[in-house]
Amino acid sequence: MDISVIDATKVNTETGLHIGERNAPVKMIEFINVRCPYCRKWFEESEELLAQSVKSGKVERIIKLFDKEKESLQRGNVMHHYIDYSAPEQALSALHKMFAT
């Protein structure tokens, strides 16, 4: 995914979907679009390792849903609006389902 349009000075650990302990020593920020094949590959291949790291309290995942203008990713932009940030575990489950479709 081309992240050249992301202004790094505006990236923070406050906004996004928080998975894990907020006081974890490592904060991992993930920019994903649920229709991006590269994001799907990352999400699926890193899930087991990240789940273990989150469970152990070493890592907090901060998932930022990234809307893109590319036509093939626009359905993902719509799907992003259905993620409930107030229920992180349910939101993570919803992301799994979205990537599976």
Query: For residue 30, what pLDDT is reported?
Result: 94
The reply to whether 3 falls in a domain is: no
Give the predicted TM-score (pTM) of the model.
Answer: 0.84
Q: How many domains does the structure of the chain reveal?
A: 1
Q: Domain with 52 in it: what CATH number?
A: 3.40.30.10
pLDDT tens column, 48-95: 999 999 999 999 999 999 888 888 888 888 898 889 999 999 999 999
* Contact criterion met (CB below 8 Å) for 27 and 67: no
State which residues form the domain around 20.
8-100
pLDDT at 1 over 70: no
- Compute the distance between CA of residue 86 and CA of residue 67 in angstroms, rounded to an integer: 20
The reply to whether 1 falls in a domain is: no
pLDDT tens column, 2-36: 556 677 777 888 889 999 999 999 999 999 999 99
Count of C-beta atoms within a 10 Å radius of residue 39? 21
